[in-house]
Structure 1
Amino acid sequence: MTTPFKADPAFDPGSVVVCDWPLCQVRLQDDSRFPWLILIPRRAGLHELEDLTPPERSRLMDEVVRAGDIVRSLGQAAGRPVQKLNVAALGNVTAQLHLHVVGRRHDDGLWPDPVWGRGSAAPYGANGLQVALSRIRLSPGG
């Protein structure tokens, strides 16, 4: 019997589930300072990239590129076009395999420092969150 996928509860306070793609659960980081998606492969017990099969690693890269397109469109819609796309699989706080896809700008307030654990998040608020979720779900890659 296989263990079903469950996202680590540590993701819940700072992000919102958007949808499921073929491999990953897609979450929006609730921080309006940055267009930011989190991809969590929907397989139980994953901690490292090598825990995925070669076809799953290929699928993950496809989904990262798809997420990058959406992050860029979120930045454009907010009037803050993304200048640099950051992709990272840190896992220092949450060991479950996940990738952050974050849109950065040279004037984003934290540039050139990393966004992880820096400053206070600026939550979208109910209306802003619904707008962002709709944009993601309606985007060509969403």
Structure 2
Amino acid sequence: MPESTIIKSGHNPDAKCTKPTETFTGDVYLDPIHFDTEAAIANVTFTPCARTHWHTHEKGQMIKVVAGNGWICDKGGVPRRLKTGDVVWAPAGTTHWHGADEGSIMTHFVVGLGRTVWHEAVSDEEYGKKGSS
């Protein structure tokens, strides 16, 4: 029977923390843990106002905020506040974005299932339409 894998130091030692730019607005740091065709697992840190572009996950996405405050918004909805400890489940096919608040970083542990399809950038106007806390 295969043995479980321990990934030391909070990230894959063979992977490097990266600063993706094509699918994010602002300064974002991606600490990859595991990536294959079934799942993408990472710690992601957003600087104030940084955010993803609109995107959709084939089989859904789980987000757990581990530091700071931020926002999540489903297409057609109003951005909703995220705080440290919050967990989000974005069902399969839900187009959404997430990112940090204006005055805070946000780090989340994220598990995306299946293929991720990236869409257009979230405009400053869309980001500015904050909803409930």
TM-score range, shorter chain: 0.3 to 0.5
Q: Hey, which of these two has a bigger chunk of helix by percent?
A: 1
**Normalised by the size of structure 1, how large is the TM-score?**
0.32
**Normalised by the size of structure 2, how large is the TM-score?**
0.34
Q: Hey, which of these two has a bigger chunk of strand by percent?
A: 2
